[in-house]
Structure 1
Amino acid sequence: MQIYKVGGAVRDRLLGRPVTDVDWVVVGATTDQMQALGYRPVGADFPVFLHPKSGEEYALARTERKSGRGYGGFVFHASPDVTLEEDLIRRDLTINAMAEDEQGNLTDPYHGKDDLEARILRHVSPAFAEDPLRVLRVARFAARYAGLGFTVAPETLELMRQLSDSGELLALTPERTWKEIARALMEDQPQVFVQVLRDCGALKELLPEVDELFGVPQPAAHHPEIDTGTHTLSVLEQAARFQQPLSVRWACLLHDLGKGRTPPQLWPRHIAHEQRGLELIKTVNERFKVPRDCQELAMLVGEYYTHGHRALELKASTLLELLQSFDVYRRPHRFEEFIAACEMDARGRLGLEERSYPQADYLRGAAQAARAVSVQPLIEQGIKGKALGEALKGERLRALQAYKGS
């Protein structure tokens, strides 16, 4: 029985990056032996155990073969005679197919260390094309390591293209796809994730609404980058730069979907694209069973982000409607995320990345002014029911008129 550290822990140590999760593979052992040593079994599909003290995962060395469609369509074989090399060859990328023994000696049968040094993301074997989830994983790794100069090997991109063309991506469950998208959006350069998916044809399969944005022009006066798809990537880049949460990054990805449905004869203008985009945003949210907070923010940003940009020009009544739409009295955090998404959109334009965004503080001040209105004096006047709501709204409107005039 031999135990090896494998995968990301080995990769990141060699890259000089922090190691967070450690995975272990056990060669030459049986399930009974593992349990006799106190390891707790947790794997339903294949033998995975939790260490009795550290709680880290230890998996028996295994092989796999394709048996159906999608991410789960595999038959696994684990036994004491499966070698370390056989276990490593089933992994996705060479940089993830390295192992270290307990003395720190490296086992690298597929030249992952060479690819680390060459900054290349390369598949281990042709079996890569059996698992559609790997398209998303490679794009996610590209987003994570782009800052170090990593690129996807051309032959790996070709396999990803074949997988995209096969229809296998659509066999992935919504939950599994969302998990990869969410993780990728939180990487250092999420725009690279989207670009790699587009390069291999996966974006038009998974997110055709985003893919449609590329090649759609916008007015150069507001968008020096012109292309709507390029703009979307830039907005995502800014969201990562300012370390925005997942909900903001998701809203940034979807905020301009309506522009992909503007009739070409109307280009580069996109009148009422906000309303056109709402049904598309809803469709994408439902496709991946996106968490509620991300869904809600994406819909609100899609509908109102142009209001955010014009905040200083809005009438007090329009400003009040905006604040009411976000329920800033009970959910101030959501309005703060809306402001952040608007600022990322303003910065995600060629040459305008460093410009100030005074609308942010203006909107915060407006929300504060509206929230400062107390309902208590109205109650003391004996106002009740529906009339109380109307009176409170009137007081908030007056507060915003005073705020605008100050």
Structure 2
Amino acid sequence: MSCSNLTMLVSSKSTVSDASSLSFRSVLSPFNLPSHNPTSSYPTRSWSVTPIHCGLRDLRDRIDSVKNTQKITEAMKLVAAAKVRRAQEAVVNGRPFSEALVEVLYNINEQLQTEDVDVPLTKVRPVKKVALVVVTGDRGLCGGFNNSIIKKAEARISELKELGLEYTVISVGKKGNSYFLRRPYIPVDKFLEGGTLPTAKEAQAIADDVFSLFISEEVDKVELLYTKFVSLVKSDPVIHTLLPLSPKGEICDINGVCVDAAEDEFFRLTTKEGKLTVERDTVRTSTSDFSPILEFEQDPVQILDALLPLYLNSQILRSLQESLASELAARMSAMSSASDNASELKRTLSMVYNRQRQAKITGEILEIVAGANALT
């Protein structure tokens, strides 16, 4: 067994404490030192531990390698933590514009309750074909972030097949693109790549594609699959109906349940007594009603035709920002776990190194004593 295989020995946390005591004694066996029978004090196990056979130099190199890996993972953790803060700030800074649109849509919709108005983006048709906008990440090392949203998309595709509905996919993100490229049996309308920080231009590219598909009646419904940012340790893959839009400016799920998405939790990473801590705030921008004497110069239908595409863009941009925040939080958590595992592995390797070094010194002393006794 090589020195690198020690990682397999400590990968299972449930058996590390028991396996280490046995493996350490196996290191001393080549030196024929007096020892007691391990089976007399330890219960019989159904598994066996392979002795560790590697030299002191190999162990030192392995320890140095683990130390360097831990430095890298710690740095990546701090970088991801800083980027999570930026992503959350982007969500909060973009909220006033989105809520101003909601405020206008509310009031215009109230004026159109008694009128028969045909607005293309809010028109509900019998669903024959569905477009799925799947938002994934561009990089790995973020735990199960990308796998969870891809599994959510696969489950939704299976549901559509069972209902006998056609579907097409709009993939956003390099990880999703590579996944769907390897599966040519899944129809993909377009492949789009994300960025380090989502912008309105990227959201506009997605909005233009889904807008043309929906207006041309190539699809009757557009669903948005992305990862909703809940907290630094939790994110949920969700499916929202992107088109047709709610005339009130609400986000609706696939079951038609609409919720106002104006409230968010804002997380701040701070240092307290030399330790990294997380502070949580609930941020909600209050909206005031329009004055009853306010009048619009244009026809309400023209205003809706102009505002609904803007609101569509804001919804897509918000989902991209939340997906990025979820990806960075998942990467921060993954790098934190990797750092903890590296620290544990370094401690275990150091114990093995010290025991081997002590065994070697003890063996040399015994050889010297045995030689001296032979001369006398």
**TM-score normalised by L of structure 2:** 0.22
Larger Rg: 2
Bigger fraction of residues in strand? 2
**TM-score normalised by L of structure 1:** 0.21
Relative contact order higher in (CA < 8 Å, ≥ 6 apart) = 2
